[in-house]
Structure 1
């Protein structure tokens, strides 16, 4: 998709989001998927700088707190969503632009954008984001390469029952918890974070409330966390271990454990690159050529008939079970 085109849908996946922010020039951060709200998982990925929550959008959904309209808005980077399909990247940037952790550096592209748009109101921030060719180009590079043909989405019939999904960010800022939803007028104040407590504990009730809106067995949400680069943390621990006063065996065991975890992080990043390369590759020309060869050899129709027969047989078996 070219820079002059719109914003494409991208997959809600930690590998996509991690590579996306790194291609934007961010260092010291990565994205982890959360499959539970247990403290043990959060403890293993600390520090957590913000949450990215994907959920099935309900049009009349009411916010869980008041919209911020006072002077606090000057300290919160909030952009309204003014274009379709941009909410994933917008939620990621909402976390990064409001993060003050020293381990995370935005890089020149995002630093320049933040400084350029800092004094804009929420709507102008959204317009600036939607018109950023660099950010849009990186975002669109993670869209699935689906076809050698171009389709006009506006010409597609829309079902009234078609489900829409939306990303929001949940972040701690100056001792309070906020939800940053580009479809709202401003940041949503979710309340005070109790002193000497992890802000994640304050966020859990709001996440659980959103999840509980769906029927049991339905999967209409996904939760991810923006965290400090795991390899960076492990390497720092390994370096600090050299100066600790431990017996030889204990130190060796801890060193080996840390090195194994570092290797796991390297393997994960390599896997992300492979998966993203496959997402971006257009396999349709290859499929078309295979179909042409099968047709030329007289194998295409028999294969189709066999597949059709198997499908009908499976449907009969399902009907029989019901």
Structure 2
């Protein structure tokens, strides 16, 4: 039996907000949060991102250079483990092309934002005593989640690819957890701890992003922040 496949999400705040709001995220001001573009990595552009930033989602190309680094880090994780991530809700990605949804799940499961009681809160409650693989298996029967994903995948500014198509672009999420910068990527062996946050979630994430950009030698990156919703948005 083939592995399940979902249409890939476009790295588009409109798609992310539709997905999240449909499943209970409060996106209305003054207490709500929503996804918004990060227009560049220069300090003068970063200052336009409303604070406090709760998460940063990154879409980037998977290159041989990146894969080499990832595998080396994953081997180190298997040998040494990772500190500070024991109570992070982490999903192993088992659904092809669903890295966008896994990035959104990793975000909303691990940040303090208002989410209405419903499919997401029920899913996260069931995840607490499960392994990453068992959490992923819960998603294969989450029909409402799959339906919302499909609708959001059709929302992007460009035409959605065919279901059988593979993509060489990948989503990961960066969140703060107990003062540490945590990277969540369903292809990994575990969450990755990038160390204590020194400047702030956004600024510290940008430093990691710059390293990955240098490694991949690509500018095909897109960053989205989960930030407070305000009346002037």
Normalising by structure 2, report the TM-score. 0.81
Alpha-carbon distance in structure 1 between the residues aligned to 2:63 and 2:141: 27
CA deviations on 1:70-126 (whole Å, 9 max, x unpaired) are 67433211111011011101101211111024xx22532111000012111111112
Cα offset, 1:163, TM superposition: 5.8
Q: How many residues align?
A: 213
Task: Identify the residue that residue 187 of structure 1 maps to in structure 2.
Answer: 191
Q: Which moved more, 1:45-54 or 1:201-210?
A: 201-210
Q: Match of 2:230? A: 230
Of 46, 51, 59, which aligns to 1:46?
A: 51
SS at match of 2:153: coil
| Distance in 2, Cα, partners of 1:163 & 1:137 | 21
| Cα distance in 1 between the residues matched to 2:183 and 2:127 | 20
**CA deviation digits over 1:140-159, x for unaligned, max 9?**
11233979xxx772xx8xxx
The answer to whether residue 132 in structure 2 is matched with residue 122 in structure 1 is yes
Alignment of 1:23 onto 2:33 = no
The 2-side partners of 1:152 and 1:224 are apart by 24
If you compute each CA radius of gyration, which structure gives the higher value, 1 or 2?
Answer: 1
Runs (4+) off by over 6 Å = none
Residue aligning to 1:204: 206
Secondary structure at 2:20 match in 1: helix
1:107 paired to 2:117: yes
Could you tell me whether the CA contact under 8 Å between 1:180 and 1:188 is conserved in 2?
A: yes
Check whether the contact 2:62–2:170 (CA below 8 A) recurs between aligned residues: yes
Would the alpha carbon gap of residues 184 and 117 (structure 1) be closer, same or farther in structure 2, given more than 3 Å must change?
same
Task: Write the distance in 1 (CA, Å) between the matches of 2:133 and 2:116.
Answer: 22
Distance 1:163 1:95, change over 3 A: closer
State whether residues 193 and 199 of structure 1, in contact with CA within 8 Å, keep that contact through their aligned partners in structure 2: yes
Would you tell me which structure has more helix in proportion to its own residues? 1
1:44-193 equivalences in 2 (<5 Å): 44=48, 45-58=50-63, 60-63=67-70, 67=77, 69=81, 72-101=84-113, 104-144=114-154, 153=164, 164-193=168-197
User: Distance in 2 between the 1:107 and 1:29 partners?
Assistant: 16
3-state secondary structure, aligned to 2:85 = helix
Separation in structure 2 between the aligned mates of residue 163 and residue 25 of structure 1, nearest angstrom? 28
Q: Distance in 2 between matches of 1:143 and 1:201?
A: 29
RMSD of aligned residue pairs (Cα, Å)? 2.6
Normalised by the length of structure 1, the TM-score is 0.60
Q: Which runs of 5+ in 2 are unaligned?
A: 27-31
Q: Is the 8 A contact 1:16 1:142 kept in 2?
A: yes
Mark the runs of 5 or more structure 1 residues left unpaired by the alignment.
157-161, 232-260, 266-322
Q: Which has the higher contact order (CA 8 A, sep 6+)?
A: 2
Cα deviation digits, residues 37-69 of structure 1 (max 9, x gap): 233444331111011011111352324966484
User: By how many angstroms is 1:213 displaced?
Assistant: 2.9
| Contact 2:89 2:127 survives alignment (8 Å) | no
